[in-house]
Structure 1
Amino acid sequence: MIRHNFLTDADAAQKFIDGVRRLKDPAQFPWPGRDGLSIYDSFVFWHHQSMMLMTPPNQNDRNAAHSGPAFLPWHRYFLITMEGLLRRAVNDSEFRIPYWDWTTDAELSEPATAPIWSNGNLGQFAGSDWQVRLEMSLRTGDLRPVNRSLQRELGDAGRLPTRTGVRMIIRDQAAYDTSPFSSSSAGGLRNLVEGWVGSERIHNSVHVWIGGDMGRSSSPNDPVFFLHHCNVDRIWAAWQERHLNSSYLPDMTAPDTLQFHRIDDALYSIYEDTVTPGDMVDYKRYYEYDTISDLTELQV
């Protein structure tokens, strides 16, 4: 039950590609009650809806899955849910989503020419056979039906985070999150990894660097979303191993304005299962990574 590097495990990479293609097909994996849409498309809807649910509703920063403490556990839950469907799609109970180590690509003179974007890898999804069916409207912010190919603008803006920058955050940040538990939190792992503060802008910068569909609330339209967030999750896992005595914050003594983000709150879901941030803390219940030592080395 190991999550491997996409570029060093050809079997995991091919199963991921095959699996998302099958889940994207409404004939093989329909989204119940949604004509012409697949179970893959439900993840686009789910992610968009999480960004529309402001917590609390009288502000426009923290939502149910972003700009707050739940960012990391919510996306861990999101990945695990997709992972279970992919195991069904490829008929492999041991399959786990691989990760894209973009810190390696950041060292290239032209990261947009990295192997992950070749036609044999994720470049193939930019073709016309990968259909985007739901997208966030840039004019209204609403989710609307479309029928078009995937859009990317590799390297037009942003930059890929560096390994040195990631290591420094893992090494130096002892707290998981800090008040006010929003995009303005000056300290803590979560906000530095999410990318609202700090020089690396880790998670956000990768979305911006890929551009196109990855720049919208409907970003799971691009399969690289899952590989990217798997690497973000790997950073959290590495931090957890580095700071064994640091707990998830906030706990249930925090006010109701932090609903969805406290340790025993239900994470936002379009499914009937109830999962909390506390359920997501111990990642080893679900998988391990082939390595995190490249992120926890002290030499920076």
Structure 2
Amino acid sequence: MIRRNFLTDADAAQRYIDGVRRLKDPAQSPWPGQDGLSVYDSFVFWHHQTMMLMTPPNQSDRNAAHSGPSFLPWHRYFLVTFEGLLRRAVNDDEFRIPYWDWSADAELDEPVTSSVWNNANLGQFAGSDWRVRLEMNLRTGDLRRADRSLQRSLGSTGRLPRREDVRAVVREQPAYDSPPFNSSSDGMRNLVEGWIGSARIHNNVHVWIGGDMSLSSSPNDPIFFLHHCNVDRIWAAWQERHPDSPYLPDMTSPETLQFHRVDDALYSIFNDTVTPRQMVDYKRYYEYDTLADLADVET
């Protein structure tokens, strides 16, 4: 039950590609009640809906899964849910989503030449057979039906975070988060999410890829899950480095922090109730092949 590096484990890479193609096919994996849409498309919808749910509704910064403490546990839950569907799609109970180590690609003279973008890997999804069926309407912010190819603009703006940027956060930030628990907060979560700090870690990867990855419908690009798997790996490395630093906020915090307190239900389109507390221990679900490249820890 190991999450491995996409570019160093060809078997995991191919299983991921095969799995997302099966989940994307409405004939093989239909989204019940949604004509012409697939299970994969439901994750695009879920992510968009989460970004549109402002918490509280009288502000435009923190939503149910971004610009706040639940950014990391919500995306861990999102990945674990998708991962379970992938395992069934590839008929392998041991399969786990691989991660894209973009900090290694940041060391290349031209990161766009990374083999992750080869046609045998993630480059194939920019072809005409991978269709974007739900997209964010830039004018209204709503989600609308579409039928087009995937869009990227690799390296046109932003930059991929370097390994030393990540290591500095993992090693030097002892607190998970802090008041006011939004995009201005100090702490590891906000540095990794990328609203503060020069590296803008998570956000900068979305910006560097561009195109569909810059929208609320960003899971349209299969690189989304590999990117967030690496973001989750950073959180795991930080957890191993700072085992006594708790998730914050706790339940003494006001209801205006709904969806972000430790025992609040994370926003879901499914009939389940999962809290940040339940997502803190990643080893309940998987381990990583290594964390040592991010901090002085062992898996």
TM-score w.r.t. the length of structure 2 is 0.99
User: CA–CA distance in 2 between the matches of 1:69 and 1:19?
Assistant: 30
C-alpha contact 1:23 1:40 (8 A) present in aligned 2: yes
C-alpha contact 2:76 2:232 (8 A) present in aligned 1: yes
Deviation, 1:6, is 0.2
Letter in 2 for 1:262: R
Q: 1:293 aligns to what SS in structure 2?
A: coil
User: CA–CA distance in 2 between the matches of 1:5 and 1:30?
Assistant: 29
Q: 2:294 aligns to what SS in structure 1?
A: helix
What is the aligned partner in structure 2 of residue 63 from structure 1? 63
Tell me whether 1:291 sits opposite 2:290 in the alignment: yes
What is the aligned partner in structure 1 of residue 192 from structure 2? 193
Unmatched 5+ stretches in structure 2: none
Letter in 1 for 2:91: N
Matched residue count: 297
Letter in 1 for 2:225: F
User: CA–CA distance in 2 between the matches of 1:140 and 1:205?
Assistant: 24
C-alpha contact 1:161 1:201 (8 A) present in aligned 2: yes
Aligned 1:67-216 pairs, distance under 5 A: 67-185=67-185, 187-216=186-215
Tell me whether 1:225 sits opposite 2:224 in the alignment: yes
What is the aligned partner in structure 2 of residue 18 from structure 1? 18
What is the aligned partner in structure 2 of residue 7 from structure 1? 7
Q: 1:145 aligns to what SS in structure 2?
A: strand
What is the aligned partner in structure 1 of residue 249 from structure 2? 250
C-alpha contact 1:213 1:219 (8 A) present in aligned 2: yes
What is the aligned partner in structure 2 of residue 265 from structure 1? 264
Deviation, 1:297, is 3.6
Q: 2:144 aligns to what SS in structure 1?
A: strand
Letter in 2 for 1:155: G
In the TM superposition, structure 1's runs of 4+ consecutive aligned residues that sit over 6 Å from their partners are: none
Q: Which deviations, in whole Å up to 9, do the C-alpha atoms of 1:126-148 show, x marking residues without a partner?
A: 00000000000111111000000
Unmatched 5+ stretches in structure 1: none
C-alpha contact 2:241 2:296 (8 A) present in aligned 1: no
C-alpha contact 1:167 1:297 (8 A) present in aligned 2: no
Q: 2:21 aligns to what SS in structure 1?
A: helix
Letter in 2 for 1:89: A
Letter in 1 for 2:240: E
C-alpha contact 2:265 2:273 (8 A) present in aligned 1: yes
Q: 1:132 aligns to what SS in structure 2?
A: strand
TM-score w.r.t. the length of structure 1 is 0.98
What is the aligned partner in structure 2 of residue 49 from structure 1? 49
Letter in 1 for 2:249: P
Letter in 1 for 2:171: R
User: CA–CA distance in 2 between the matches of 1:158 and 1:181?
Assistant: 25
Identity of aligned residues (%): 79
User: CA–CA distance in 1 between the matches of 2:111 and 2:276?
Assistant: 34
User: CA–CA distance in 2 between the matches of 1:111 and 1:11?
Assistant: 23
- Structural RMSD (CA): 0.7
User: CA–CA distance in 2 between the matches of 1:231 and 1:92?
Assistant: 22
User: CA–CA distance in 1 between the matches of 2:228 and 2:259?
Assistant: 20
Letter in 2 for 1:195: G
C-alpha contact 1:23 1:29 (8 A) present in aligned 2: yes
C-alpha contact 2:132 2:149 (8 A) present in aligned 1: yes
C-alpha contact 1:133 1:146 (8 A) present in aligned 2: yes
